[in-house]
Structure 1
């Protein structure tokens, strides 16, 4: 009998393969509905789905679809099933067999830090790409201080990065009350004695103290005064707020994405907020410099990842190429953002309640609430 020789592959290693456009063949052994809802994607990724239970007695159906000289990564929800299938493949003579360490759970939670730019005052701006979930968060560094914008709940990864950079957290900021993922902003602020900022119109039901985001009330990071300007920009939520950093970078939250626009229905007020969304996209943002670099809080498609994994776009280019910015009829715009929307995010009501401080789910419950893709955009399918 052949001795099974399999290796594990981490979410970081998978991410790096995708960002480097390396070929990757994946056998996903989750059930078909989970696979169709959410899977690992990339421009050089080839993925097939054969449920675990269909391979219990015989892995030949998988071997028949895996190219002979190609390495294969077996993926499941938490690791166990993929490891067993990987062992069976190796025992059948297949070489270069890997399994995803901690399964799609780890894929959902991994953050890849990508440098956006050096800032004019000597600081730095980083984007954290949550590639398995489509969430984007940001860290501004200056003179030993840090601010984190739209933090995810996996605060240990931000902590490790700050430790590496030798900086102290002074501010955490959420552009709006999130509905697709649990914010780590409050937890980070409490742990490090930082200030946690929220738009007051999104915070009418929160159960905790916070700093109000108000236009003209700058947030300073470091002694060199890297300035973050709140710009009131309702639409996705009634309090959605954008930021200008270094007069070059426009952090748009979930209002504007690279290839789509934000949906206004996650608080049950789509009809009420449509006009706000249009006003922000077609007037407020239109009056800004077209040379600003848009940095959104989410991406919907792997094609939105640019060099090194950075998700960004020049505002002027977005006004030419983004379908959501080119709906000239107000009636057609209203129809687009209120009808035929993709399914709402998994457990979005519970996530909103958690971000308000009204629910306190444990770590495993939080993980289950977030499983699956983000669905914050109008045009994502």
Structure 2
């Protein structure tokens, strides 16, 4: 038996199917615990879980659940188990069987560039959707220059895009010290001689030099009409900083999401930071224009993906519809952001230490540290 009867599907192809709302039937053969913690999701995705060890002696349990005539994508952690199962399903006479190349590890790392808009000064603005992890990063391009905000560690994908756009990287910026994923901002800045920016209040323990983000100090990219204006907005971390781009877009970091709000506990200081979080959401942001388009650093549900995969929301609409912005009683707010917290992100303490420069895990260790959902939001009930 060879793999010629099956085909491989990469993370980009799966992402495009999900964003195009195409039907996709998935057989996930990881163990039940891993599956329940984190899986491929989409509005037109039908997914079942049968652990690999239940299929070693035969794939009949899977064949009984896979509808006749449907394409099936087999998924596992790294790839090997899914190839074996896909081969057995094909050998049993089912056609149109695929496996996910690189498994869920590749799914966790793929970035899909989605255009946000053309900017008023002639530049372009892109959101990079890390669909398997829920992370969102941004690239501004203007007059041959570029800035990247909340860079993921897979810097090669940004490099390819910069090359495609023939742009020189000038700035990398982190809105805060991340706890759910490893930042690639410093590595990318060092490689290309760009300036790496970080909020100083999040940088007390970092081991490297950086340029502090300070409210009122604009960051220019190419044409001066494209201005990134930092706004101090603590709550998720003590240094969390938001940005207004082109007077139209609010990059909210992990403070405000489309359907939820940021959690204040990942540095172990939830009670200290709840007040800051409320002040940012109910005062600082409230004083901004309702017409600003919010572009967060994460999303939690596939329902937050809009046209083409863009994750965004008008600030005024979020104040009407986002439950986290509609708790006028401070006691209710404090109770919600302490009682509705999801489990903390996988290896979040090690991720924070990596982002501080205190430890230097190798590539495989970094990949393992990031496996799973981002869990940066307060859950709504």
What range describes the TM-score normalised by the shorter chain of this pair? Answer: over 0.9
Matched, 1:335 2:327: no
Label 1:229 to 1:346 Cα distance change in 2 as closer, same or farther (>3 A): same
Contact kept in structure 2, 1:2 and 1:93, CA below 8 Å:
no
Q: Distance in 1 between matches of 2:292 and 2:215?
A: 19
Contact kept in structure 1, 2:3 and 2:83, CA below 8 Å:
no
Label 1:180 to 1:3 Cα distance change in 2 as closer, same or farther (>3 A): closer
Which residue of 1 is the match for residue 190 of structure 2?
Answer: 190
3-state SS of 1:331 partner: helix
Q: TM-score, normalised by structure 1?
A: 0.99
Which residue of 1 is the match for residue 370 of structure 2?
Answer: 370
Which residue of 2 is the match for residue 274 of structure 1?
Answer: 274
Give 1:340 deviation, angstroms: 3.5
Give 1:58 deviation, angstroms: 1.0
Provide structure 2 residue ranges, at least 5 long, that are not aligned to the other structure. none
Q: Distance in 1 between matches of 2:143 and 2:20?
A: 32
Contact kept in structure 2, 1:5 and 1:87, CA below 8 Å:
yes
Give 1:223 deviation, angstroms: 3.6
Give 1:224 deviation, angstroms: 3.6
Contact kept in structure 1, 2:3 and 2:87, CA below 8 Å:
no
Contact kept in structure 1, 2:179 and 2:351, CA below 8 Å:
yes
Which residue of 1 is the match for residue 107 of structure 2?
Answer: 107
Q: Deviations over 1:81-124 (max 9, x none)?
A: 00000000001101000000000000000000000000000001
Which residue of 2 is the match for residue 299 of structure 1?
Answer: 299
Q: Deviations over 1:143-185 (max 9, x none)?
A: 0000000000000000000000000000000000000000000
| 1:225-374 matched pairs, under 5 angstroms | 225-374=225-374
Contact kept in structure 2, 1:4 and 1:88, CA below 8 Å:
no
Contact kept in structure 2, 1:341 and 1:378, CA below 8 Å:
yes
Which residue of 1 is the match for residue 43 of structure 2?
Answer: 43
Provide structure 1 residue ranges, at least 5 long, that are not aligned to the other structure. none
3-state SS of 1:153 partner: coil
3-state SS of 1:334 partner: helix
Q: TM-score, normalised by structure 2?
A: 0.99
Give 1:2 deviation, angstroms: 10
Structure 1 runs of 4+ aligned residues shifted over 3 Å read 1-4
